[in-house]
Chains A and B, each alone.
Chain A
């Protein structure tokens, strides 16, 4: 990507006025998510509502001048049962969202046989983490409530499904625990992970499904094994609550974001800190106030693993290239809370305190052949396995992301 390619706002979605004014409901968009296949977007738009929107967006949302993707295929599928947006009324504030593929029930296969002209719509479920500790599981295509998982005693702040589609769900809660649920067994709770001393803000399962990261108010980041559900190590380094975490697509890197204005990049296999990405204000304040206004809210990796997007309280969306120490691009964004990349690249979605979501252009990336090889190798090699290979030292440094 050329330096100075600022993210451009592609579209902004605002919630309509709630039909029933309820001053107790909050209006924040705590989470946004794309389905792994990129066909749906979920938006917790506040007032207890989650909107499920088919992706790419309907043309009416895209301002003139931007290329509307798949314009012709949208016309073809109109009137033929193309997926329409769904509204999920969760009954309480929605904090966490996570998609998973869902195996087709027999009824769906029968339906598909009688409607052969409709393209095969992949089956998906969405998990929603609620204010009182419940987790509701919804079928995306129909908007039907499938399951209600109970166990947490307080807000379910974040959710993560195993990327392999094995239907194991991890939830992170203000009750200081994480819980493991098996959706193959009707949502049976199979483990409680204790150890955190304060609210657990986030959880993330590595793409190779071997590790779970959780981060909490007491400044620590925990790494758990997804095989034995035991603690592997604690990562120390943040000076304040850690509120967001994400693994790189090849599971070789972990990034965590904190109210201490830093994002730390870690090697999850060795626990080493590789990078501190410090968020400084563009215009420093005149006095000593506003010390924490660059508090981080969210961090996420781009799909090819070379960029990060961060949302901070200083009203900026920042794009970082992994190998550099300062951001490569900024976009103004007020009251940002969350961000996520579209799984096939090109778009970043962000959510705000007033329930809005924005879609931004993401850097256009042409990975080097070296990086493509590194990503492929690190998808199945741990850091220690790389260090044991009979290859030159410089190549080991490259493969373990010590150099870029």
Chain B
């Protein structure tokens, strides 16, 4: 199952549903009463978030799911100071808390 994320500049991303559910916001969006019940791909629009930021968020989802509930040593997640402000906004909106 996949979630299609459509950011500000229209560059679409497909994210595994399991990964996208890391975000409390997306989880709420996808489980509300008006969700797309039958389709394989669910679409979520992120009008305020540019694609380069969303791409990094998707990488974080993968990282988070991969290392949670595993006993592997957790490597650092690479960050770039210049654009980290955008990620913070996105992370705040997407409510990306870990357990």
- Chain A residues engaging chain B, CB cutoff 8 angstroms: 304, 345-346, 364-370, 372-377, 379-380, 391, 395, 398-399
Contact = CB atoms under 8 A, between A and B. Distances in A.
Contact of A369 (B57, B74, B81): B57
A374 B88 contact: yes
Interface bin, chain B: 20 to 34
Given A366-B64, A377-B84, A395-B88, A372 B77 contact: yes
B67 A373 contact: no
A4 to B, nearest CB: 14
A379 B85 CA distance: 13
A368 B88 contact: no
Contact of A366 (B68, B80, B81, B87): B68
A304 B85 CA distance: 19
B96 A366 contact: no
Contact of A376 (B73, B74, B84): B84
10 contacts: A304-B76, A366-B74, A367-B98, A368-B96, A368-B98, A370-B91, A370-B92, A370-B97, A372-B87, A376-B80
A376 B96 contact: no
A372 B77 CA distance: 8
B39 interface: no
B60 interface: yes
A398 B64 CA distance: 21
B15 to A, nearest CB: 14
A164 to B, nearest CB: 16
A185 to B, nearest CB: 32
Nearest to B88: A373
A373 B74 contact: no
Contact of B92 (A346, A367, A395): A395
Interface in B39-88: 57, 60, 64, 67-68, 73-74, 76-77, 79-81, 84-85, 87-88
Contacts of B98: 366-368
Nearest to B97: A368
A150 B66 CA distance: 53
B89 to A, nearest CB: 8
Nearest to A303: B76
B73 A369 contact: no
A373 B91 contact: yes
A390 to B, nearest CB: 11
Contacts of B91: 368-370, 373
Given A368-B98, A369-B96, A379-B81, 13 more contacts: A346-B73, A366-B64, A368-B96, A369-B64, A370-B88, A370-B92, A370-B97, A372-B79, A372-B87, A373-B87, A376-B84, A377-B85, A395-B88
B77 A380 contact: no
A366 B67 contact: yes
A373 B79 contact: yes
Contacts of A366: 64, 67-68, 74, 98
Nearest to B85: A377
Given A366-B64, A366-B74, A368-B97, A376 B92 contact: no
Please give me the 5 A-B residue pairs with the lowest Cβ-Cβ distance, nearest first.
Answer: A373-B88, A369-B91, A369-B96, A376-B79, A376-B84
A345 B85 CA distance: 26
Contacts of B77: 367, 369, 372
A346 B80 CA distance: 24
B87 A369 contact: yes
A341 to B, nearest CB: 14
A396 to B, nearest CB: 11
A395 to B, nearest CB: 6
B86 to A, nearest CB: 9
Nearest to B63: A366
A304 B68 CA distance: 16
Among B60, B67, B77, B88, residue most surrounded by chain A Cβ atoms (within 10 Å):
B88
Contact of B74 (A365, A370, A395): A365
